[in-house]
């Protein structure tokens, strides 16, 4: 079971601000989801490799050749704030 | 006071010298205008697909092999999740449980004692962007972000906690740097940030098996800084324990200006990275053939080269160790030996005059203007009597500063050695006449007076008289 504390913890890690009502709803919903997924643990997985990828593909490489860059105006187009050619962000610590 | 021992492990990040980034075809070139080497993949825009650069995998395998690691036959990329503006995606693509290489080692030599340091793992990851603060990180009102470095390929090399002193940690990092440079996968410039080092460090009473609580040290931008930071932190931890206190597990930053380590305000819950396999990137299956092919391409490494210098050139261990500590230095040395076949004499010149001048000027071998052929030429000029060994030192200094040929310097400055018997005799007589007291001393058995007289002759000839001839002529004259 998921506790209210777990929900607060993952909300903080995901930078989500939840009110008390939301916390309660998500505690129940997340518990239900995990409970559902837990059924997988009833399967016998002896001798089965953990899945690294859902598709049966491996070794997709590109060669070390340079391509086009975006013009700096486009790079910064979505920046909420910019200065010169930099992204401007709030104080970090 | 009881004895303590330090336990140190290093995490070293090395930027790989590829043309393009690890997951897209943006350029990795250093020093571009801010945010000019950027594509949609670098920014993590919706709908983009990262695809791994084959060269990065090749280089990581190469580094792993050079560090005696076992290369994984199956490897994958994972997302390391954290919020920090140095990465626009809010996660870093790295490797978690299936790194490309594991279980390696390298050998160090401290004070003549060999020691093997274990390497836990080598994994690939993308570098983060660069934050520019106004003043310090703590007081800046805002920060500016340049994402050019985002996605530049890195390998992280994690050591076992096998080092017991700051000296051992330095020796490990020096050897690691040399090995990586020899393989050619990175230039390992600490000043430009292509080699970065964090340290995990704890202390414990000597003899105790259980590890003490560790701290993590960051922000050491040179070997000197690493040495000072470790030495400081060892002292600090011992003092805390001696005063009956406890070490707090935390990240500390080295303050170069003040010469202390300080608590960094840690990112809250920083160690909950919630790694999971990156669904955008498919697994790597590394064939034995590929590993073999890469193994063939690894050049002679520092330890092997050192051994060869001792075996084939008859160099002392210490000379061979110093000369092979950087590939370019060893190349320079070998070039000289090819032209002038006296390995020890060349070693003396490089380890003495040249390294001293390099250190004084903070230069690396590639900045040195003297060419191997020129050093060889200088030594030939001594051998054929054109200049004295003493004058040669001045000529070398001039060569080092100007890059000019020794012959030209000797000719232009009129430094050719005087071997004309008549000329030397004239000066010797002059000196004997002017220094009757020294002559008497010599005749009364004070043999060291000869040295003074020789010195006077050299002084009058501005160091150009052939010292062997001066010595012989003086003693002949005084003994008869």
Domains and CATH numbers, chain A: 4-41 (1.10.20)
Min CA distance, A66 vs chain B (Å)?
5
Place of tokens 């697994």: B283
B404 & B425 share domain: no
Residues contacting A8, CB < 8 A, separation 6+: A18, A23
Tell me which chain B residue has its CA closest to the CA of residue A56: B282
What sections of chain A are H helices per DSSP? 4-13, 20-38, 72-75
Quote the CA–CA distance of B219 and B232 in Å, as a whole number: 14
pLDDT, residue B426, reads 87
| In-domain check, residue B466 | yes
Q: How far apart are CA B49 and CA B235, in angstroms?
A: 49
Domain-ending residue, one of B354, B384, B412: B412
Cα gap B219→B210, rounded to integer Å: 28
Q: Answer whether residue B99 is part of any domain.
A: yes
Q: Are residues B473 and B401 in the same domain?
A: no
Whether residue B35 and residue A90 make contact (CB cut-off 8 A), yes or no, is no
Mean pLDDT across B241-252: 89
- Residue B300 inside a domain? The answer is no
B145 and B211 housed in the same domain: yes
| Domain final position from B261, B293, B325 | B293
Q: Is the pLDDT of residue A91 over 90?
A: no
Cα dihedral: B378, B383, B385, B389 (round 10):
60
| B368 and B249 within one domain | no
How close A42 gets to chain B, by Cα (Å)? 22
Q: For the domain that residue B449 is a member of, what is the CATH number?
A: 1.10.10.410
Whether B36 is in a domain gets the answer: yes
Instruction: Tell me which of A11, A52, A73, A90 to substitute to probe the interface with B (most B C-beta atoms closer than 10 Å).
Output: A52
- For residue B240, being part of any structural domain is answered with yes
The pLDDT of residue B197 is above 60: yes
Best of B137, B143, B147 to disrupt the A interface (most A CBs within 10 Å) is B143
Whether residue B349 is found in the same domain as residue B287: no
Last-in-domain residue among B234, B266, B293: B293
User: Based on the domain organization, do B319 and B465 belong to the same domain?
Assistant: no
Provide the pLDDT for residue B74.
96
For residues B145-152, give the mean pLDDT: 96
Q: Quote the DSSP letter at residue B465.
A: B
Report, as an integer, the average pLDDT of B43-58.
Answer: 96
| pLDDT confidence tier of residue B430, bands split at 50, 70 and 90 | confident
Mean pLDDT over the full length of chain B: 90
Does B136 have pLDDT greater than 80? Answer: no
**Percent of chain B beyond pLDDT 70?**
98
Residue recorded with tokens 């490799």: A49
> Which residues partner with B118 through β-bridges?
B105
Long-range contacts of B272-277 (CB under 8 A, 24+ apart): B272/A9, B272/A13, B273/B80, B273/B81, B273/B82, B274/A13, B274/B81, B275/B78, B275/B79, B275/B80, B275/B81, B275/B94, B275/B96, B275/B97, B276/B78, B276/B79, B277/A52, B277/A53, B277/B76, B277/B77, B277/B78, B277/B79
Residue B268 above 60 pLDDT? no
Identify the pLDDT of residue B133. Answer: 87
The whole-angstrom separation of Cα B467 and Cα B385 is 10
Whether pLDDT at B317 is above 60: yes
CB contact under 8 A, B145 and A88: yes
**Cβ proximity of B121 and B10 under 8 Å:** no
Residue the block writes with tokens 């707090």: B248
pLDDT tens column, B117-134: 999 999 999 999 999 988
Please write the tens of the pLDDT for every residue from B69-113: 999 999 999 999 988 899 999 999 999 999 999 999 999 999 889
pLDDT score, position B221: 87
For the beta carbon of residue B424, count every other beta carbon within 10 angstroms. Answer: 21
- Shared domain for B269 and B386, answered yes or no, is no
List the single best residue of A10, A49, A82, A91 to mutate versus B (max B Cβ within 10 A).
A91
Same domain for B449 and B468? yes
Of B90, B64, B91, residue with least CA distance to B75? B64
B271 pLDDT exceeds 80? no
pLDDT of residue B38: 96
CA B399 centroid distance within chain:
24
Domain assignment present for residue B301? The answer is no
d(CA A33, CA B248): 38
What is the side-by-side strand order in the sheet with B195-205?
A: B70-71, B101-110, B113-126, B153-159, B4-15, B195-205, B215-220, B251-255, B260-263
Answer whether residue B112 is part of any domain. yes
Residue matched to tokens 């040669």: B392
At B351 the three-state DSSP class reads helix
Query: Does B424 score more than 90 pLDDT?
Result: no
Residue B2 pLDDT: 61
Cα B57 to Cα B61: distance, rounded to the nearest angstrom: 6
B466 against B47, higher pLDDT: B47
List the domain range (segments joined by +) for residue B461: 421-479
Q: Which residue has the tokens 């002392």?
A: B316
**Candidates A58, A65, A88; nearest CB to B25:** A65
**Mean pLDDT, rounded, for B225-231:** 94
Higher confidence at residue B289 or residue B413? B289
> What is the model's pTM?
0.84
Torsion sign over Cα B365, B366, B367, B370: positive
Instruction: Select from B35, B74, B272 the Cβ nearest to the Cβ of A72.
Output: B35
**Is residue B188, in this structure, part of any structural domain at all?**
yes
Residues B125, B254 within the same domain: yes
Q: Are residues B47 and B151 in the same domain?
A: yes
Q: In this structure, how many other beta carbons lie within 10 angstroms of the beta carbon of residue B12? A: 23
Residues B282 and B386 in one domain: no
Is the per-residue pLDDT at B269 higher than 60?
A: no
Could you give the CA distance from residue B320 to residue B160 in angstroms, rounded to a whole number? 27
Which residues in A lie closer than 8 A to residue B285 (C-beta atoms)? 58-59
Q: Which residues pair with B6 in a beta bridge?
A: B203
Residues B8 and B53 in one domain: yes
- B397-420 mean pLDDT: 83
Res B468: pLDDT: 81
User: Which of helix, strand or coil describes residue B124?
Assistant: strand
Mean residue pLDDT of chain A comes to 92
Quote the ipTM score. 0.90
Provide the domain count of chain B: 3
Band the pLDDT of B360: cuts 50, 70, 90. confident
pLDDT digits (tens, 9 = 90+) for B155-189: 999 999 999 999 999 999 999 999 999 999 998 98
């Amino acid at each position: 079971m998921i506790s209210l504390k777990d929900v607060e913890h993952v909300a903080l890690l995901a930078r989500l601000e939840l009110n008390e009502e939301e916390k309660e709803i998500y505690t129940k919903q997340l518990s239900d989801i995990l409970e559902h997924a837990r059924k997988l643990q009833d399967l016998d997985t002896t001798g089965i490799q953990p899945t690294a990828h859902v598709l049966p593909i491996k070794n997709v490489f590109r060669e070390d050749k340079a391509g086009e860059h975006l013009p700096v105006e486009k790079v910064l187009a979505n920046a909420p704030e910019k200065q010169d050619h930099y992204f401007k962000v709030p104080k970090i610590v | 006071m009881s004895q303590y021992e330090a336990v140190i492990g290093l995490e070293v990040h090395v930027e790989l010298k590829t043309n393009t980034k690890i997951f897209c075809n943006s350029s990795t070139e250093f020093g571009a205008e801010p945010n000019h080497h950027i594509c949609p993949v670098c920014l993590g825009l919706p709908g983009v697909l990262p695809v791994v650069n084959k060269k990065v995998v090749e280089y990581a395998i190469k580094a792993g092999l050079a560090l005696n690691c076992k290369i994984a036959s199956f490897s994958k990329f994972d997302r390391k999740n954290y919020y920090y503006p140095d990465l626009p995606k809010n996660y870093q693509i790295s490797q978690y449980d299936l790194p490309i290489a594991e279980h390696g080692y390298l050998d160090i030599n401290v004070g003549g004692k060999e020691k093997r340091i274990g390497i836990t793992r080598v994994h690939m990851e993308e570098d983060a962007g660069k934050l520019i603060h106004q003043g310090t990180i703590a007081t800046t009102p805002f920060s500016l972000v340049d994402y050019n470095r985002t996605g530049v390929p890195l390998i992280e090399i994690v050591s076992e906690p096998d080092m017991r002193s700051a000296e051992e940690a330095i020796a490990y990092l020096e050897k690691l740097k040399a090995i990586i440079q020899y393989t050619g996968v990175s230039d390992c410039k600490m000043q430009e940030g292509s080699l970065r080092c964090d340290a995990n460090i704890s202390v414990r009473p000597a003899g105790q098996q259980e590890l003490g609580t560790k701290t993590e040290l960051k922000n050491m931008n040179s070997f000197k800084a690493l040495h000072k930071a470790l030495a400081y932190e060892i002292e600090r931890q011992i003092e805390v324990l001696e005063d009956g206190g406890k070490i707090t597990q935390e990240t500390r930053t080295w303050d170069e200006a003040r010469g202390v380590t300080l608590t960094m305000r840690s990112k809250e819950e920083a160690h909950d990275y919630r790694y999971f396999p990156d669904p955008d990137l498919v697994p790597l299956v590394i064939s034995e053939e590929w590993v073999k092919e890469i193994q063939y391409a690894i050049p002679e490494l520092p330890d092997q080269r050192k051994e060869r210098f001792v075996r084939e050139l008859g160099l002392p261990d210490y000379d061979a160790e110093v000369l092979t500590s950087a590939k370019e230095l060893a190349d320079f040395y070998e070039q000289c030996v090819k032209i002038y076949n006296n390995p020890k004499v060349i070693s003396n010149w490089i380890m003495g005059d040249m390294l001293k001048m390099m250190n004084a000027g903070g230069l690396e071998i590639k900045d040195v203007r003297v060419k191997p052929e020129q050093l060889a030429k200088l030594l030939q000029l001594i051998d054929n009597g054109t200049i004295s060994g003493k004058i040669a030192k001045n000529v070398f200094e001039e060569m080092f500063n100007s890059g000019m040929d020794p012959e030209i310097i000797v000719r232009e400055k009129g430094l050719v050695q005087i071997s004309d018997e008549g000329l030397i005799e004239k000066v010797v007589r002059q000196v004997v006449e002017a220094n009757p007291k020294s002559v008497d001393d010599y005749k009364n058995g004070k043999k060291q007076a000869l040295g003074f007289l020789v010195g006077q002759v050299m002084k009058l000839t501005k160091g150009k008289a052939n010292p062997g001839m001066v010595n012989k002529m003086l003693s002949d004259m005084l003994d008869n």
